[in-house]
Structure 1
Amino acid sequence: MTLVRILDLVGVGVFAVSGTLAAGRKRLDPVGVGVIAVVTALGGGTIRDLLMRRPIFWLTDTAYLITIFVASALTILYVRYRRPPERELEIADALGLALFAMTGSQIAETAQLPALMVVVIAVITCTFGGLLRDVLCNEVPFILGRGHFYATAVIAGSICYLILQRLGIPRIYASFSGMAVVASLRIAAIYWNLTLPVFDLERHRNRP
């Protein structure tokens, strides 16, 4: 098993943990927990494949579902005895985000999509699972929250990857550089509470 393959499954597992915790906060039954975990981990990649008319990646590879169910079960067992390590999970999520950003970018690039669509596909791959999770859990989607530095990190990393590719940098180095950008921005946002400016219509209306 290659390093990229291992990291891909780790990323899926981390997103499954996120979905499991979200389901636990809503007090769902085991079936609901499983559904939310699967949607969170695989939703973005599934929508990407449907949009690009590709074979859905997890239908022919049971390792993804096995990883999700194992991660979800271990999460349920862990939280029975200890509080989830929120900060550590956010860091792990940032690393998974970085990997999925490059996976989405490379799939779109291989399909010879325009550069703008490569970035869009990267964002869909990384964020739409969480968006579906939040919608199913009746929450405001995290990526639409007040200035969250999440999709922005994916956009920056994907653009970095594309620019380095255009400059003739080998794909493997461009990929690791793009991943570093995504992870660094997201982790910086976690530690220093970095946010984007928000559009506040009421504030503008109240100006003299």
Structure 2
Amino acid sequence: MEKISEYIRDNLKIIIGSLTIVVVLSALYLGKQEKSSTKKSDNLEWSAVDSKKSEPEKEVKEGKSVEEDIFVDVKGAVRKPGVYKLSAKQRVSDAIARAGGFTEEAERKAINLAKKLQDEAEVYVLARGEVDTRKLLEGETGGTAESEKEEKSKINLNTADLAELQQLSGVGAKKAQDIIDYRSENGNFKSVEDLGKVSGFGPKTLEKLRDSIVVD
């Protein structure tokens, strides 16, 4: 025991220094391990976040792609008439190209090749000398509708009441009542010209009101 105690006393500084080095190295090692573990954990968390972010972006892109798909019916003077799947960004020229292009009879000047396409649209290519009956029908329908609208806006001398008759230019309460009295005594007006038989409605007044009145 005396020898051990004597050895310790003689080598105390060396023993303390060795223990200090061991403690420092152990602390450094543990710190390094903890830092490495934290870094791995952070990497896993960021990886999970990136994965979640990429999924919605992918879905949006896929959804957008589906929305841009349209179907167009190509008819008339083209080589392969039919329904074609195209993109909403494409033009009439693209639809005609998908249908094989123009035939020799196609009237190319009658179609707008730069027009944008829409879903369920019809691209019709006229042949030379062909009349676009669709536009004629649309014009006839539009003309009829416009005519009916104008007729409805006119005042009917046979059915209008006192207030409606006063909407006519230059017609006050007295003249409106005169029209109603004439109608009661003589029956319905047979024509617009019959208004001239009512007191106060001369040729000039009748001509002024002609586009605003109607009889049936």
Q: Which has the higher contact order (CA 8 A, sep 6+)?
A: 1
The structure with the greater share of residues assigned to helix is: 1
The structure with the greater share of residues assigned to strand is: 2
Greater gyration radius: 2
Give TM-score, length-normalised by structure 1.
0.22
